[in-house]
A and B are shown apart, each in its own frame.
Chain A
Amino acid sequence: MKKICFRILILFLVFTPFLAYAEDFDYDDLASVPVLHEGRVKPLDTLARHFALAFSGKSKFKNESALRWFVGLVLSPESSFDKRVFSIKNPDVLTSLGITEDNSKLYSFTELLKAIRAQFSSIQSIQQIPQESRTASQNQLVDLYNKVMLTYELSRSLSMYFPELQVVHPSLAKELNVKVGDYTYLELLKQRNLIKEKFDQVKEISPKDWNDYQRNIAILSLQLNRVEDDARSRLFAILPLQWEGEEGLWFSPWAILSDGQGSPLSANYLQLWHSSYLAAQEKDAHRFNSIAKQIQNYPKEHFAEFYSLTKINLELKYNRWDLFTKSLALYILSFLALALSWLAWRKLAERISFACLSLAVLAHLVGLIQRMIIMSRPPVSTLYESIIFVALIASVSGFLLELRKRNTLGILIASLSGTILQFVANSYASDGDTMGMLVAVLNTNFWLATHVVTITIGYGCCFVAGILAHIYLIKRLFGSSRSKDLNDLNGNLLGVNFFALFFAMFGTILGGIWADQSWGRFWGWDPKENGALLIVLWILFLLHGRLAGKMKALGFAVGSVLTNIVVALAWFGVNLLSVGLHSYGFTSNIATNLGIFCASEFIFAFLMLFLIRRKERLAGIS
């Protein structure tokens, strides 16, 4: 037995190096390649995730990373076109394209292109309809069409190196001074004028009378035109400005060539990409990996003055760590452990729940700080960021409450708010990159740091007050109305409302000062301004009522639940109006969800009020 084992070991040692030699394509080195997209220089990894998310709804695919898919699309498009990356969930869209529904709900570029070609005229006529007058499925169809076109554009980023021009007729080859074979656009560029001239003569003859020579000229000319159309491909902007020009501009390979931005530096860089294309075509992983390393280092060595390498590396870590997803998972775990503690193993489950919450808050906080550093701007500047920030405020407040009281109330608040708001935030991240550039009116870091952050803290406090009020009402319905716990809870509710008022009011006033500086007026009855004012007035109403004794603890709790509705309307609702100067947060397709949320909160508040009153009346409590 020992001998057999020894032989196996020897065999293993002998063959291991050969097994290891089967090198695989390593795309990781390309992850940090800087690329300009939507006004920001970002790592290629982010760009790949952006498109993966926009196309499929997920930032990675089942069998491969977004980066691998993206690089494949640029370097060997033909092998990427059959991958199922386009998510279509609406059956009407599938019907209008004549595609059979697939269980995965994912479809490939090849099948979509075929379907779009067949339905091109109807898509064109839909495009003529103003967006607001189209049906949901028409909008989705146009959106899908744009995504397919975008994919095509990306796949043509390096088409100047694709050997797609065919010289098959020996006489033509002789006239062009080349051999019969396939050529790239750049290889036949010198003969371009000659080919065009020849095609002008061939055009005079009817196509049905063309001989092989003439047909080859016609096809070659069409192929040339097709590649020349790719000069419009600007998405893969991997090269910074080489000569004089507008500051901050970056160029795609085609743009470098056609805009006269070529230089020895750009030539060397594109040469590397060309070599990587050849290595990918030849399926030479070893060579590809070695070139990928050179591509990774080239911008660091030659374009360092055009972007921040620190931020690119930090963004790569942000992408890889994916802290918000991890914090969401931990919030859920924390809530589940807490729920378990209500059933069994109380102490242990509570400890686990608190540990999960602590890690969730930490991950959430670190993720937010990473974003601040990458974007060099305060934590809240888009709707997505405001949700993430409100979630953090609510979670931290729950965490601190738990540290102080140790009665699991804080865990409940933090885990619930963290989970709910992170889910809402995820739905806003599904369009792609969440780190978009800001519209000019918002691009003032001082005001973003003061007005927007303050008012968002106000939203967070209102949300915490809302959750506290929910807990208060449930406890009051199912427990005693005079317990110490309830009194404590009511005290907390009052305190949180005070803070909510402070931050909401302070934030609104700061907003007025910003508006005065930006638009020349303090107040303009803009929907967003009205929303902010409504929150302040509502909390003032509640606090006045409570402090003056006109409103009892129960009414105050019901009012605090309704605060959630006021905040939701001010936060998301006004964006549905699509009017006013606060145009940055316009959203669509959330009306139903918002309506459901408001209705459920309204029903909950008044149902609880009714049930608690009934219960206490029956129990003889005044």
Chain B
Amino acid sequence: MKVLAILAFLFVCILGMHYSGVVHFDFLEEERMEQLKKSQEVPNLKLKLLSGKEIQLHDLKGSIVLLNFWASWCGPCVEEFPSMISLIQKMHGKVKLLAISNDSDLKDIDDFFDRFKNLGDLKNHPDIFVVWDHDLKISQDQFNVIKFPETIILNQRMEMERKVVGVTDWVGDSMLKYLESL
């Protein structure tokens, strides 16, 4: 019994010393999980633009890309669209918009752009690329996006830096600062 008492006392002392930091036993330590994910490279998707031209996503390397998932029937998408366009125009090629439409009809996309005619010839803008994801292969199968708008910000190396869910002010100070920092 004495042996047990001594063992028990030693056990308590060792545990106490470990948890107070006097000694250290690796196996008792909780592994520190690095919760901050490193930016992942976006898959190099083959995209067919509305203009009929085909591009690879990584062709846009060198610019910041807003990979925007939207639909013409989505109110919040309509709400944030002007500020997004304003950002693209303001950044003069530094930021490009890759708009993935989830509309079921091509005509709806045309109508949508017609509504924003006052912002310029958006369909032919050199920094705006529109893709009709008619079978949802990009939004759902590649990015698990089913609600709109959602925008993934890609840095110049085509790494996914951040995701913006819902409406945001793309020309607000904090967003501009953030984009400058990339």
Contact = CB atoms under 8 A, between A and B. Distances in A.
Interface of A: 177, 186, 189-191, 193-194, 241-244, 247-248, 256-267, 270-271, 305-308, 310-311, 372-373, 376, 378, 393, 396-397, 400-401, 404, 445-446, 448-450, 453-454, 457, 461, 492, 495-496, 499, 502-503
A264 B1 contact: no
A258 B146 CA distance: 7
Interface in B89-147: 102-104, 136, 140-147
A201 B60 CA distance: 45
A142 B115 CA distance: 55
B5 A502 contact: yes
B29 A257 contact: no
Contacts of B143: 262-264, 267
Given A177-B104, A492-B1, A457 B146 contact: no
Contacts of A461: 5
A64 to B, nearest CB: 32
A264 B43 CA distance: 7
Interface stretch (B14-22, B48-56, B80-88, B167-175): B14-22
A242 B39 CA distance: 10
Nearest to B133: A190
Given A190-B102, A264-B42, A449-B16, A257 B3 contact: no
Contacts, number: 125
B108 to A, nearest CB: 11
A495 B162 CA distance: 66
| Interface size class, chain B | 35 or more
Contacts of B141: 267, 271
A496 B29 CA distance: 33
Interface of B: 1-5, 7-8, 11-12, 15-16, 18-20, 27-31, 33-35, 37, 40, 42-43, 73, 102-104, 136, 140-147, 150, 160, 162-163, 165-166
B163 A263 contact: yes
Contacts of B166: 260
B35 A306 contact: yes
A260 B103 CA distance: 19
8 contacts: A263-B143, A264-B42, A310-B31, A401-B1, A449-B12, A449-B16, A453-B15, A457-B8
Contact of A400 (B3, B11, B163): B3
B28 A400 contact: no
Contacts of A306: 33, 35
A446 B4 contact: no
Nearest to B102: A190
Q: Helix, strand, loop or mixed for chain A's interface?
A: helix
Contacts of A190: 102-104, 136
B161 to A, nearest CB: 10
B35 A247 contact: yes
B163 A393 contact: no
A270 B144 CA distance: 9
B142 A267 contact: yes
Contact of A307 (B19, B33, B136): B33
Contact of B144 (A262, A450, A457): A262
Given A400-B4, A454-B12, A373 B104 contact: no
A461 B146 CA distance: 61
A262 B164 CA distance: 11
Contacts of B18: 449
A105 to B, nearest CB: 41
Considering residues A190, A242, A271, A376, which has the most beta carbons from chain B within 10 angstroms of its beta carbon? A190
A471 to B, nearest CB: 14
A308 B12 contact: no
B62 to A, nearest CB: 21
Contacts of A311: 31
B1 A243 contact: no
Contacts of B12: 449-450, 453-454, 457
Given A260-B147, A267-B142, A310-B31, A499 B19 contact: no
A305 B32 CA distance: 9
A148 B160 CA distance: 41
Nearest to A248: B35
B150 A260 contact: yes
B146 A393 contact: no
Contacts of A267: 140-144
Contacts of B150: 260, 262
B35 A305 contact: yes
Contacts of A264: 40, 42-43, 142-143, 160
B144 A499 contact: no
A191 B104 contact: yes
A271 B37 CA distance: 21
Given A243-B163, A449-B15, A305 B104 contact: no
A172 B142 CA distance: 29
B6 to A, nearest CB: 10
A194 B103 CA distance: 12
B163 A260 contact: yes
B144 A446 contact: no
Contacts of A445: 19
A454 B15 CA distance: 11
A257 B1 contact: no
Contacts of A193: 73
Given A260-B150, A264-B40, A378-B15, 18 more contacts: A190-B103, A190-B104, A257-B147, A260-B165, A266-B144, A267-B140, A267-B142, A305-B37, A306-B35, A393-B8, A396-B7, A401-B1, A446-B19, A450-B19, A453-B12, A457-B8, A457-B12, A499-B1
Contacts of B35: 241, 247-248, 305-306
